[in-house]
Amino acid sequence: MPTGGGKKSKTLFEQAKRVTPGGVHSPVRAFRAVGGTPVFMASAKGAYLKDADGKSYVDYVGSWGPAILGHAHPAVTAAVRKAAGRGLSFGTPHEGEVELSRLIGRMVPSVQKVRFCNSGTEATMSCLRLARGFTKRNGIVKFAGCYHGHSDALLVAAGSGALTLGRPDSAGVTPGAVQDTHVLPFNDLPAATELFRKQGHEIAAVLLEPIPANAGLILPLPGFLEGLRELTQRHGSLLIFDEVMTGFRLAPGGAQQILRITPDLSAFGKVIGGGLPVGAFGGRAEIMDHLAPDGPVYQAGTLSGNPMAMAAGLAQLGILAKGGVYQKLEKFGAELEAVIREELKTAGRKDPLVRIGSMFCLFCRTEGGQVRNLEEARNCDRDRYAKLFHGLLERGVYFPPSQFETCFLSAAHGPKQLEITRKALRVALRRT
């Protein structure tokens, strides 16, 4: 039977359940998908997490993406300490906001203007309101399995934690909140074409993760994103990329740089905060200028552009912009992929392994084959993934506690962590 965390984690979890729903502050942390007690972490450094009982783990979650340089990178922590000494929050404009906005614009050419907020959920929610205000239309298109945060209009066929818990939709979301949201299968361009043929004049925007990372990791088929770009342009709709996961992680310009597709708006988070809470959205100036105070679309946030978050983002993106990090991540990613494929072959497994840059996912799917959409992602052996997860955890390797999440690498990973992973994976696969 899975155990998960050690003695102190178990004690902390019991205490947490008395004061917090489910004992956690984000559902996937509860280990419901894999069983056992959540591991309570006490510290993180480089490629490692250390739990409350003092055990270390090679970390492939990376705070769900932000730790691209590794945990507690010296340049990032120094920037945060320095910023904290000047004040934790101003509630006024400050120079850091201007500097980070300029840097984001240089790294992502489609972003002519940017607005900071406090989370990826806020960023995608604001993109939708802006798209509706700009186009004067109500309809939104999203894709099953793409998770865009927990705003009401987008909690339809969502991936991530909602999928992990077996509840694709949320209680408390009214029919009216989602009546203008159209849900299509990812990678199904004919379905999108037919919808636009019938209702293109009503659709304000198409919103999607260009590379979905909340139903495992799913790659777009050739022509799919290009087709959506053409459809939206032809019908006067906006194309919105949710790059909260992929932004600044796959390349300086995110997935849109790699895929060579230019969206009208983009939502960001994770990496730009360097580990602190932050979100951002941006795009063409003529669209962004519809935001208050220049335009009629209202969006605000007391802590938006928080000086510590801006300092962390400037330090982290500054390092990424200089180059070299992405090449290192690709090199280690390719080495790790080779190791996993070798161990799968040795164990007689055909499970699909999907990797792009520093993101990867191992689907426990006996029949193998490409995973192209949410329906195929769901066709996984969740019990076997749970056994794999705990087999790795026991041997000091921390994978996401859900089959429907993505693993992340950092620049701090190297040969030592690769060998630990190889040994742990070899034993864990034998037991599944």
Work out the mean pLDDT of the chain and round it to a whole number: 94
Please report the pLDDT score of residue 128 as a whole number.
96
Considering the domain architecture, whether residues 216 and 100 belong to the same structural domain is answered as yes
Q: Has residue 102 been placed in a domain? A: yes
Contact 429, 388 (CB under 8 A): yes
Q: Has residue 278 been placed in a domain? A: yes
Distance separating alpha carbons of residues 344 and 397, to the nearest angstrom: 17
Considering the domain architecture, whether residues 63 and 135 belong to the same structural domain is answered as no
Residue 242: active-site member: yes
Considering the domain architecture, whether residues 165 and 217 belong to the same structural domain is answered as yes
Q: Has residue 2 been placed in a domain? A: no
Element of type H or E holding 415: helix 415-430
Distance separating alpha carbons of residues 226 and 404, to the nearest angstrom: 26
Considering the domain architecture, whether residues 247 and 368 belong to the same structural domain is answered as no
Distance separating alpha carbons of residues 108 and 22, to the nearest angstrom: 39
Considering the domain architecture, whether residues 164 and 135 belong to the same structural domain is answered as yes
51, 59, 242, 264: the active-site residue: 242
Q: Has residue 309 been placed in a domain? A: yes
Q: What is the CATH number of the domain that holds 354?
A: 3.90.1150.10
Please report the pLDDT score of residue 170 as a whole number.
65
Distance separating alpha carbons of residues 251 and 260, to the nearest angstrom: 12
DSSP 302-335: TTTT-HHHHHHHHHHHHHHHTSSHHHHHHHHHHH
Considering the domain architecture, whether residues 347 and 422 belong to the same structural domain is answered as yes
113, 270, 387, 398: the active-site residue: 270
Q: What is the CATH number of the domain that holds 110?
A: 3.40.640.10
* Length of the chain measured in residues: 432
Considering the domain architecture, whether residues 68 and 190 belong to the same structural domain is answered as no
Considering the domain architecture, whether residues 234 and 337 belong to the same structural domain is answered as no
Segments of the chain with pLDDT less than 50: 158, 160-168
Residue 147: active-site member: yes
Contact 68, 271 (CB under 8 A): yes
Q: Has residue 25 been placed in a domain? A: yes
Q: Has residue 31 been placed in a domain? A: yes
Considering the domain architecture, whether residues 215 and 281 belong to the same structural domain is answered as yes
- Which tens digit of pLDDT belongs to each residue from 29-63? 999 999 999 999 999 999 999 999 999 999 999 99
Domain total of the chain:
2
Please report the pLDDT score of residue 150 as a whole number.
80
My answer on whether omega of the bond before 293 falls inside 30° of 0, hence cis, is yes
- Which tens digit of pLDDT belongs to each residue from 331-356? 999 999 999 999 999 999 999 999 99
Task: Please state at what angle helix 307-321 crosses helix 95-107, rounded to 10 degrees.
Answer: 30
Please report the pLDDT score of residue 179 as a whole number.
83
Please report the pLDDT score of residue 164 as a whole number.
39
Distance separating alpha carbons of residues 103 and 236, to the nearest angstrom: 30
Residue after which a domain boundary falls, among 305, 321, 337: 321
Residue 298: active-site member: no
Diameter of the chain by CA atoms? 61
Q: Has residue 129 been placed in a domain? A: yes
Residue after which a domain boundary falls, among 264, 294, 321: 321
Give the domain range for residue 67: 7-72+324-430
48, 57, 147, 398: the active-site residue: 147
Q: Which two tokens stand for residue 334?
A: 């390719």
Residue after which a domain boundary falls, among 263, 292, 321: 321
**Using alpha carbons only, what angle is made at residue 113 by residues 111 and 118, rounded to the nearest 5 degrees?**
95
Q: Which residue shows structure tokens 């859900």?
A: 402
Considering the domain architecture, whether residues 290 and 212 belong to the same structural domain is answered as yes
Considering the domain architecture, whether residues 247 and 372 belong to the same structural domain is answered as no
Considering the domain architecture, whether residues 238 and 384 belong to the same structural domain is answered as no
